[in-house]
Structure 1
């Protein structure tokens, strides 16, 4: 066992603390990773606010890249010294989804068996709940070996670590879930980190036009840099009608976009996405709603009459072992600008300030650097 500095949320709504934690030596199927960089994701704030569950204290952080320090018995997929991106989908290989050849939908993903614990204070020894089974706002963390995906060691940790959650969620929502491709149009409602990644994914796949929708003019100014061909300020115009108009100009007769990605997670914007898609088009929900939100009231005849698909995208329907190395290679070859998602590099003591910047929409991603 070793002791390292880490960021912990002890109680709902309380500011996070930098404290010392105990990291066990890896057991069978586990690995200890020396974290180099970890993005500050909105999901971490959800944990702090009690929006995920109440299993405090939480060890926050999950969008991370680092170096495998040690592995436990039976681990063959990674070795000490490997540069890895951490993921929260360690597939089991033997559930119904895995057995039918769709491990990206694994029903039995798993995390490390042992628990990291608090190392100081009156509650020393208390088990920590790692965010998304990772807990990477820490100098080192313990994960299941299947949560480690080897990628090109020449890649910048601050950039490729973001594939661990938000960027992969957006890219995958467009490419994997929405199946954007040449000859299809795409619209993305919500231009935060996930939405910008969805725009980048749609552009990378060859979709055109790629339409960015938001109420924040600053975000819309950045959207063309990620691949948007058009922008819509939905605080000033009806986004549904604008999406229809733009798509009809490119594809005469179109009644909306072929794929509309909702990256906000609200009933109002999901309803906009529903009516902004073309006949037989696809709606993808990747924005995370709160538990109290309901599907908006829609005439069932509209659901039936428009055809197509209404999908939700969980982690961009990704398979880390397949997608992370591919996307890293696109990054290192200059075809996918992951650096553009890194708004700032910060220290471990700056996470509360990063939460506030994220809440105010001032950053796509703040990234905590450990080396």
Structure 2
């Protein structure tokens, strides 16, 4: 059986997206059909539309999603129809690759997505964003991309765990290892950076420094737990971070922007033997140059955080529990709720820095 659904499609580079009829097949072996309830509008979807990820147009956009499993294919045991799930980028191999065998499944080298294509009405195959494609009434994923969470959670809030919130929270907590009494600086206070700030607060950091060029975002950062703010359009961010940490630099500095200049700020703003974490996604042409003697002499660690070193089966339910306990303001990331045909206008709001997340609610 094929399901006709409304979905947001990017047909060509830089062109406005459109809401079109998309054909979604029933799940095959190891797959699940999910009725999407909510999906966040992430800057990565805009990068897909702009050709910044791949050139495999047309794209079925949307990847920060929560919904209900409608049906499953042969051999699926992870989830069942009726389960409330948050979707993640990739199903883990389950122990076949060396990362999983070595006890680091968040680095799984043999991940998978659904094998059966979703198509336009004329049969043209679509490339689903991050293997999900959830700006749609229904989507087809590998069953391992579905993580069950507490069904009492708001779908609009839960959906955001699928990408930006988990990436930021995990960059601070999983990758950076920030803990009780530590200092952390977060450069870039969009959705990912704000989640790093919120994660540091949950972890018990004593000083949480938010850095941005937008005064509005710095005010938002205070609501998520920032103890100090730095407007880097007016003052040197590295000097300000050092001044706020007794002249030493922060224990952890998170670059949630992903540009050479912000990465250098993160490198120099950390304490000796401190940790710099890159979680902001750079574009392909960007490079960074650092004095090798400084890299050697300062010690510490320079880390990349891919998906916040997240393990969905571990982290999604835990973060939902923190949210339901009132300890993590997941709903605070939802700036507005919109319809499918408002995604293009939501992209414009991302450009203008007006939202943390617009969330499509179906």
TM-score if structure 2 supplies the norm length? 0.99
Cα shift at 1:301:
1.0
Aligned positions of 1:26-45 closer than 5 A: 26-45=27-46
Q: Deviations over 1:328-354 (max 9, x none)?
A: 011111111011100000000000000
How far does residue 114 in structure 1 lie from its aligned partner after superposition? Answer: 0.3
Query: Residue 328 of structure 1: which of 320, 325, 340 is its match?
Result: 320
Give the alignment partner of residue 351 of structure 2, picking from 341, 352, 359.
359
Give matches, 1:1-371, under 5 Å: 1-93=2-94, 94-119=96-121, 124-248=122-246, 255-295=248-288, 297-370=289-362
Distance 1:62 1:301 in 2: 41
TM-score w.r.t. structure 1 length?
Answer: 0.96
Runs of 4+ in 1 over 3 A off after TM superposition: none
Give the conservation status (yes or no) of the 8 Å contact 2:170–2:196: yes
Q: CA deviation at 1:183?
A: 2.4
Contact 1:280 1:309 in 2 (8 A): yes
Aligned partner of residue 343 in structure 1, secondary structure: strand
Q: Residues of 2 paired with 1:205 and 1:357: CA distance? A: 31
CA offset at residue 179 of structure 1?
0.3
Is there any run of 5+ residues in structure 2 with no aligned partner, and where? Answer: none
Q: Secondary structure at the match of 1:310?
A: strand
Hey, what does 1:251 align to over in structure 2? Answer: none
| Count of aligned residue pairs for this structure pair | 360
Contact 2:90–2:131 (CA<8 Å) still a contact in 1?
no
For structure 1, the residue ranges without an aligned partner over 5 or more in a row are: 249-253
Query: How far apart are the structure 2 equivalents of 1:20 and 1:221?
Result: 41
